[in-house]
Amino acid sequence: MHNATEFKLEARPTIPEALTRLDELANDLFCSWDHGVRSLFARIDLRLWQKVAHNPKLFLRRVAQNRLEEAAEDRAFLSEYRRILSSYDAYLDAEPGPEVTTRLDPDTALVAYFCAEFGFHESFPIYSGGLGILAGDHCKAASDLGLPFVAVGLLYQQGYFIQTIDAQGQQIARYQSHYSHELPISLVEQEGEPLRVSVPFPGRLVHARVWEARVGHIRLYLLDTHVEENTVGDRELTLQLYGGDETTRISQEMVLGIGGARVLSALGLCPTVWHINEGHAAFLILERCRQAMADGLSFEAALELNAGATLFTTHTPVPAGHDIFPRALVQHHLAAYLAETGLEFESVFQLGSKSSGDSFNMTSLGLRGSRFHNGVSRIHGGVASGMEGDIWPQVPARENPMGFITNGVHVPTFLAPEWSSLFDIQAPTWKSELRNTEFWEFIDRIPDYHYWSVHKALKQQMGDYIVRCLKRQHRRNGTGHSVTERMTRQLVSPEKDTMVIGFARRFATYKRATLIFSDLDRLERLLTDPERPVVLVFAGKAHPKDKPGQQLIRVIHDLSMQPALMGHVILLEDYDQAMARRLLSGVDVWLNTPEYPKEASGTSGEKAALNGALNLSVLDGWWGEGYNGKNGWAINPRSTELDLEFRNQEEARDLLDLIEFEIVPLYYNRASQGYSKGWVQRSKASMKTITPRFNSQRMVMDYVERYYRPATMQGIKLAADSSRLAIELAEWKQRVRQDWAGVSLSVNQCVAATCLHDEEISLSVNVQLNGLWPEDVRVECLVTAECTGTHDCPGPDRFLLQHNTATNTDADTGGATVFSTRILPPYPGLQSLRIRVYPYHQGLTHPLEMGAMVWL
């Protein structure tokens, strides 16, 4: 038989006059979090809305003309349409509050936020996991708060892969092209022509076009290289997120960092703060140095000028999250760019070198090219200080400039509409009280039965959703009908209200998805207790190159198919943001068992808590701050010095103990009302303590306060007067670096061993300055109280030692400068005193940024 050629034809509707602004709504990512806008589309044609995976642009191309016309005639619909438009207009018209405008002048300040992935919505799949969703949430909150803010990323034609899991538990990765007309973006034009930026690559220029996405008040610019001027190979550079090999990766990062900075210049935007969100975008530092050098600065001065206005955020201690490129690859790829710019390869390479090895680390580049740095939770901040300590080699890790801001999630995106409506009734102003912890006490005033009925309704929706997903997945895999029935039977009987524990996130090995299976017999007994059954639901993608991650999927798949566990262990394919919203708002317990301290923050547990689920998690990442003893359950990680196998066993036992002795009994302690009072109490405690602290508005305001504002000020200071301070700092640092190796401290006068409580003691040291001036350094004494073992040692208190010009010429100091002071011992009893010297200049962003320090 002859196969006919098939042509696809899309008959597009004309949007009726009365509904023209639907198009505007479809072109603003505002619709990714506004339930009202989404419900409008669903109302026009629910089946199509589901079929196009909640993609408003696609919906408006495919919807039948008569549906639109009916809607345009339907009074109820029109009034809803007008209500939603007026709330959209009110959102766009809202001015930022004084807490923003007093910190960032809306007329002059501008934050530029660069990231390799952005997760706004499932219909815009240019994200792989937590990092992308976080970046999306950051932009959404920046819009909500009215920050002067612009974001830059890449448009991947195929984005991240679609996952299927076959009958053998094998992950199959499928890529699907997304056409720009199906996405909420539009091509940026200048003078009637599409805007192009180009980046010098070896032997050629790589061109990129630029897309604009509206996110309420802010704009996101996305570059892609799929343009005619490029070779066929170059057109595919931005095909896939985290695809290809290291050549693809470095090329993408050049387009993002260098091309991205060029886009902002081409648009006439002059950011006052540059936020490099993870190492992928760190090449922007080079491009900004190039721009400053074109204005006549030296490389060193250009770096000082730019770094002072730059923040670098690191998101993971796991090596796979840090790009490390071989020297030759970097040299080859940057050669043409550097030749054009006048930057020297060795100086550039130095910025990315780690103490060990001849490779180029994008994290190191990000850190050396910025003066503000942070990790994403308190625990992770500490870990990152240690890991990246070699940037500041002589400074104790505890004191280096690495700070932290704990991640938060965008409440309107992740809070189920059912909760949102309940809050509207109980506390109508809740949307403007997202950072007010006291306000959230109102949760306790919600009647328990009402609270539980919302949870139960959401859980039922999740159950239906899981059943649909499982059926689709298993029909395709050829699983028998009776088997699928067994798989879903715990979920289809709402009257039983079986406890559901969820675990969904990327299948990276450090997240230990299979930890809970460490003692299978015990787990099986727990899950299948006929009186108190439990269902475990898993979902997640493993990177296509991560074989051990894919092995985890296979293990869970096999367990889910075992007759004994069937229906109690469920594995869903193709985890994305839509599935995340379903699971996170429907489960009773959200499980997280990372290998401490590798979960930098984690955010899915925060999303679960907003929706009343209780966290059961290893005390790592955000949970280290979020857990208060009453709002969930914690597993204490064992010391990292112990063997991993042993830690896994111990932590797994704690996990099963908690489930068996606390969680299941509490959940099933139902009185006649049909739910557990104790559970509701705990769930409320979780919701009210976590929502106002771990949301993205709190996070973004922390960024404003601790980084965006100081970096803006520092940038202004460095740039003033033709960059006078940046030039001075660069020269000063060069001089200090040359002489520092010869700087030393020695005792001038022994410190008294005892004194009376109110007696001052004198401190005096000789500093061999090796050619530096006394003004170039700070000499200080750190006093710490004696540790008692049970408490942290108080202190240190710091005392500055002054150099005394009169004693400078004293012959017996051997050419050294005397620094001295008198101090009153700050603590009673025993205390320890340590004295040190480090280079100091008042123009520094952080007093220890040079990483140089000598102790007595």
Ligand X SMILES: *Cc1c(COP(=O)(O)O)cnc(C)c1O
Distance CA 224, CA 255 (A): 8
Nearest approach, Cβ of residue 576 and ligand X (Å):
6
Rounded alpha-carbon distances, angstroms, from residue 783 to 500, 610, 744, 754, 853: 53, 44, 20, 14, 17
Q: Pick one of 505, 647, 709, 841: the residue that binds ligand X (CB under 6 A).
A: 505
Closer CB to ligand X, 484 or 592, in the complex: 592
Closer CB to ligand X, 212 or 576, in the complex: 576
Binding range to ligand X, per CB under 6 A, among 259-267, 576-584, 737-745, 767-775: 576-584
Six-digit token string for 527:
């899950």
Binding range to ligand X, per CB under 6 A, among 27-35, 516-524, 569-577, 842-850: 569-577
* Residue whose tokens read 């969820």: 502
Closer CB to ligand X, 133 or 816, in the complex: 133
**Please, which of residues 71-110 interact with ligand X by CB under 6 A?**
none
CB 224 within 8 Å of CB 195? no
Angle at 212 between CA 206 and CA 213, to 5 degrees: 135
Closer CB to ligand X, 465 or 708, in the complex: 465
Binding range to ligand X, per CB under 6 A, among 127-135, 624-632, 736-744, 817-825: 127-135
CB 120 within 8 Å of CB 126? no
Does residue 576 interact with ligand X by CB under 6 A?
Answer: yes
Closer CB to ligand X, 121 or 368, in the complex: 121
Q: Pick one of 55, 71, 117, 129: the residue that binds ligand X (CB under 6 A).
A: 129
Six-digit token string for 550:
């894919």
Nearest approach, Cβ of residue 72 and ligand X (Å):
35
Phi/psi at 836 (nearest 5 deg)? -150, 160
Nearest approach, Cβ of residue 321 and ligand X (Å):
12
Contacts of 623 (CB under 8 A, 6+ apart): 592, 602, 605, 615, 617, 632, 634
Does residue 413 interact with ligand X by CB under 6 A?
Answer: no
Nearest approach, Cβ of residue 417 and ligand X (Å):
17
3-state class of 784 per DSSP? strand
Closer CB to ligand X, 117 or 144, in the complex: 117
Nearest approach, Cβ of residue 826 and ligand X (Å):
42
Closer CB to ligand X, 580 or 634, in the complex: 580
Nearest approach, Cβ of residue 413 and ligand X (Å):
9
Nearest approach, Cβ of residue 123 and ligand X (Å):
13
3-state class of 38 per DSSP? helix
Nearest approach, Cβ of residue 165 and ligand X (Å):
17
**Please, which of residues 583-622 interact with ligand X by CB under 6 A?**
602-604, 607
DSSP result, 574-610: ---HHHHHHHHHH-SEEEE---TT--S---HHHHHHH
Nearest approach, Cβ of residue 538 and ligand X (Å):
12
Nearest approach, Cβ of residue 171 and ligand X (Å):
16
Distance CA 122, CA 54 (A): 8
Closer CB to ligand X, 116 or 305, in the complex: 116
Does residue 715 interact with ligand X by CB under 6 A?
Answer: no
Closer CB to ligand X, 510 or 827, in the complex: 510
Closer CB to ligand X, 610 or 854, in the complex: 610
Nearest approach, Cβ of residue 834 and ligand X (Å):
40
Q: Pick one of 58, 126, 133, 282: the residue that binds ligand X (CB under 6 A).
A: 133
Does residue 580 interact with ligand X by CB under 6 A?
Answer: yes
Does residue 184 interact with ligand X by CB under 6 A?
Answer: no
Nearest approach, Cβ of residue 545 and ligand X (Å):
18
Closer CB to ligand X, 264 or 580, in the complex: 580
Burial 758-785 (b: 16+ CB within 10 A, else e): eeebebbbbbbbeebebebbbbbbbbbb
Closer CB to ligand X, 126 or 391, in the complex: 126
Number of residues that bind ligand X (CB under 6 A): 12
Distance CA 523, CA 660 (A): 9
Q: Pick one of 55, 252, 361, 577: the residue that binds ligand X (CB under 6 A).
A: 577
Nearest approach, Cβ of residue 606 and ligand X (Å):
8
Closer CB to ligand X, 55 or 490, in the complex: 55
Question: Which residue blocks in 118-226 are alpha helix, DSSP H?
Answer: 130-145
Six-digit token string for 439:
């306000």
Binding range to ligand X, per CB under 6 A, among 129-137, 452-460, 515-523, 641-649: 129-137
Binding range to ligand X, per CB under 6 A, among 9-17, 71-79, 426-434, 575-583: 575-583
Binding range to ligand X, per CB under 6 A, among 238-246, 572-580, 654-662, 795-803: 572-580
Closer CB to ligand X, 134 or 151, in the complex: 134
Cross-strand pairs, 570: 537
Six-digit token string for 9:
């034809």
Cis omega before residue 796 (within 30°)? yes
Distance CA 654, CA 636 (A): 8
Binding range to ligand X, per CB under 6 A, among 52-60, 68-76, 126-134, 366-374: 126-134
Q: Pick one of 56, 125, 130, 369: the residue that binds ligand X (CB under 6 A).
A: 130
Distance CA 407, CA 694 (A): 7
Closer CB to ligand X, 570 or 767, in the complex: 570
Distance CA 634, CA 623 (A): 8
Biggest CA-to-CA distance, the chain = 106
Q: Which of 208, 217, 197 has its CA nearest to residue 264?
A: 197
DSSP character for 797? E
Closer CB to ligand X, 287 or 573, in the complex: 573
Closer CB to ligand X, 576 or 776, in the complex: 576
Nearest approach, Cβ of residue 593 and ligand X (Å):
11
Distance CA 430, CA 436 (A): 9
Does residue 146 interact with ligand X by CB under 6 A?
Answer: no
| Sign (positive or negative) of CA dihedral 25, 27, 30, 33 | positive
Distance CA 567, CA 484 (A): 9
Which contacts qualify for 325-330: CB closer than 8 Å, 24 or more apart?
325/246, 325/249, 325/250, 325/359, 325/360, 325/362, 326/246, 326/358, 326/359, 326/360, 327/358, 327/359, 327/360, 329/246, 329/247, 329/250, 329/360, 330/250, 330/360
Nearest approach, Cβ of residue 324 and ligand X (Å):
22
Nearest approach, Cβ of residue 488 and ligand X (Å):
23
Nearest approach, Cβ of residue 622 and ligand X (Å):
9
Binding range to ligand X, per CB under 6 A, among 125-133, 170-178, 528-536, 785-793: 125-133
3-state SS of 256-290 is HHHHHHHHHHHCCCCCCEEEEECHHHCCHHHHHHH
Nearest approach, Cβ of residue 605 and ligand X (Å):
7
User: Beta strand pairing status for 614-618 and 193-194?
Assistant: unpaired
Closer CB to ligand X, 242 or 451, in the complex: 242
Q: Which residues bind ligand X (CB under 6 A)?
A: 129-130, 133, 505, 575-577, 580, 602-604, 607
